[in-house]
Amino acid sequence: MKRLCAEMLGTFALVFAGTGAIVINDVSGGAITHAGVALTFGLVVLAMIYTFGDISGAHFNPAVTAGFWAARRLPSRDVLPYVGSQCAGALAASGLVRALFPTSHGLGATLPSGSEAQSFVLEFVLTFLLMLTILNVSTGAKEKGITAGIAVGAVIGLEAMFAGPICGASMNPARSLAPALVSWRFEHLWIYLVAPVAGACAATVACRCVREEGCCTKLKSGVA
């Protein structure tokens, strides 16, 4: 139960700060800027990894949970409870953003600015790179565990910085699902549910290609 509460609270913080930054940037006429929004996502993930990493593994993302399951680093019995907790935290965050900014239409929802195929490929590749980073910084030398939060937060900020204007750089089904449900905007949602999960699972295959055989089954679950 403590692990599930950690996942819920961490995902709440991620969605509240990240989508809140998008909404506040809109209502303030661009005071935060796109770079500020990308930095907000990276920093909040970094902070939550150090806050809850030793409790739940700091997934905060159904795609990351799916990736750890595909890498055999998370028992099947934990997948649905983790995903449910993440979605509950994300929904609570979007509900609070709605209460604070009732005139906001999108609530920070992720929408493609180009074609669906373009955004699907971007979300797949972005999540692939994110999961590949997570898998590799959460094992090996002990020093990696200390800097895992910095590495993961930096990757999220970097990817949001350059790909956000095109696809939204969600990389997280819960982060996209919650504002879509609260604002009742479901167009293109399938991209942000399918592509991140597929990208995260593909990353487990790539991890096995560059590490010794059986590495995934020997690693502990989680980012930190």
Q: Which residue in the block uniquely carries the two structure tokens 């479901």?
A: 186
- Provide the domain limits for residue 175: 2-218
Report in angstroms the alpha-carbon separations of 217 from 107, 161, 204, 221: 39, 33, 11, 9
10: number of CA atoms within 13 Å, CB side?
A: 30
Separation CA 193–CA 170 (nearest Å): 10
Q: Residues 102, 182, 166, 206: is their CA dihedral positive or negative?
A: positive
Q: What tokens were used for 99?
A: 């209460």
Q: What is the CATH number of the domain that holds 21?
A: 1.20.1080.10
Question: What SS3 class is residue 54?
Answer: helix
Q: What is the pLDDT along the chain (224 residues), one digit of tens a residue?
A: 899 999 999 999 999 999 999 999 999 999 999 999 999 999 999 999 999 988 988 999 999 999 999 998 899 999 999 999 999 999 999 999 999 999 988 899 999 998 999 999 999 999 999 999 999 887 654 445 678 899 999 999 999 999 999 999 999 999 999 999 999 989 899 999 999 999 999 999 998 888 765 555 444 445 54
- Whether 183 is covered by a domain: the verdict is yes
Give the total number of structural domains in the chain: 1
In the chain, the amino acid numbered 173 is: P
- Whether 203 is covered by a domain: the verdict is yes
Residue 129 CB burial class (10 angstroms; 0-12, 13-18, ≥19) = middle
- Whether 190 is covered by a domain: the verdict is yes
pTM flag (> 0.85): yes
- Whether 106 is covered by a domain: the verdict is yes
- Whether 38 is covered by a domain: the verdict is yes
- Cβ atoms 89, 12 nearer than 8 A: yes
Q: What tokens were used for 206?
A: 């790539």
- Whether 223 is covered by a domain: the verdict is no
Separation CA 168–CA 179 (nearest Å): 13
- Whether 120 is covered by a domain: the verdict is yes
Predicted local distance difference test score (pLDDT) of residue 148: 86
- Whether 224 is covered by a domain: the verdict is no
Question: Which of the 8 DSSP states describes residue 24?
Answer: H
